Each structure stands twice: as structure tokens, then as C-alpha cells.
Amino acid sequence: AIPIATALKQSPQQIAFDEVIRQSIMADPAWRKGDYYDHGQPKKGLAVARMIGHITFMSDQSMEQKFSRKLKNGNLSFSFAEDFEVEGYLRYRGDNFVKRFDANSYLYITKAMDYFDLSDGFFLAGADKMETRFLVISFTSDWLYPSHQSQEIVRLLKRRGVAVTYCDLKSTWGHDAFLVEVAEETRLIRNFLKNIRISRALAPLPAGTGGSGMEAPPLPYEDRIP
């Protein structure tokens, strides 16, 4: 199993962002308490909801790197127009999201995420017989699902005696890093799976028969969670 940039449960901050997202949708008169399918999507509310969500996927560093304070047209309009490039980008993201996503689906998905809670470890019942191995990956600049939440997963697995390896990848892309740092993730996952295959190939050898000459390649990262 390979949990990436995630948590055992939603934090109060994550729930708070989801609530603002939901309220943005429900505040649009076009939402009609969810019965809008014969009238069209609550486009304005859904677009704003996505703008909020997209901000949480980025980081201060990535926004500075991508936009800084660049102006769209070179001058300030002294109006509520899109003066800054970051404003135009968020509006574009919001408008594009409306074309491919259902507002009610967004409401229910965010609520389901808020209810999600594996912190009591019930999913690890019978862990002493569990053969599943875990690779947990987090990203240093992810403030939506910060590294300490991934480390909580690692600690829980270790307490239950489950084999787990952890890597906190250095990145400036925030939560978006799991979509951007593909090369590094691929390298980690490939080595992790390669070690599992080799370990399982060696496991059936009866005691005293000698080695097979196969040796698992070292993983290019280390488990640093006590």
C-alpha cells in the first residue's frame, strides 16, 4: 500500500476549508437546495469553491514562483477587475472546473472526506498476520496535508508491527507536489516494489538451503520516524 500526501483523518483546518467550499456552493441561489438539475449548475458558487480548493493545493513558494505580483495588463485598473495574474489564474481554474464537475458531488465528496477517520487503527485488525507493506510519502511544502500527518500513519503502523517505509520529499509545490514530482515518486515506488518482489522471491527458501544470490537493492531513502 502506498499512501501519498494524506492523513488518518481530516484536521480541523481541513474540515474548515471544506466547510467554506460547501458554503460557497450552497450560497449560490442556483443551487436550489441541491435540486438544480433541470435548471443548470450553481456555476458561480462552484467556481468560487474550486478557487478556494485550488489555493490549498499550492504553497506560498509555488505561488511566488508562478505568479509573484505580476500584472495581467501591466497597469492597475483600480477596479475589481483581474489586475494580478494570480487572480486570472484562479478564475480560469474555477470556470473550467464548472464544465466538468457536479456541484452536489463536490459537496458529498468533501463531507465524506471530513467523516473519514482511521485514527483508531481498526483497519489494522490482525496486523500480526498482515503481509501488506507500506510506503508512505509526504512533501515538505504541503500545508494541506502536512508531513506530520503522514508521520502519524507511520507511527501507527509501527506500533502495530506493520512493515513501513517513509519518505518526506523535498518540494516547493505544496499539495500539488504529488502531481508534479512524478519522476521522484516513480523512482521511490519502483524501488519499493522491486524490494517487495525480491523479498517474496527469497521468502519460500527453506532454512539451510543457502541463498539464491539475489539481494534486494537498497532503497534511495530512509525511514526517519522513531
- pLDDT tens column, 25-47: 999 999 999 999 999 999 999 99
Sequence spans of domains, the chain: 12-115, 122-202
Return d(Cα 192, Cα 32) in angstroms, integer.
49
Whether residue 5 contacts residue 145, with contact meaning beta carbons closer than 8 Å, is answered with yes
Tell me the residue length of the chain: 226
- pLDDT tens column, 161-218: 899 999 999 999 999 999 999 999 999 999 999 987 665 554 543 443 333 333 334 4
Q: Report the DSSP beta bridge partners of residue 117.
A: 9
Encoded amino acid at 33, one letter:
K
Q: Report the DSSP beta bridge partners of residue 49.
A: none
What is the grid cell recorded at 134?
A: 507500506
Q: Count how many Cα atoms sit within 13 Å of the Cα of residue 146 in the half-sphere of its side chain.
A: 6
Do the bridges between strand 164-169 and strand 134-139 make them parallel or antiparallel, or are there none, so unpaired? parallel
Return d(Cα 216, Cα 196) in angstroms, integer.
8
Please determine, looking at this structure, whether the domain spanning 12-115 carries the CATH number 1.10.1740.110.
yes
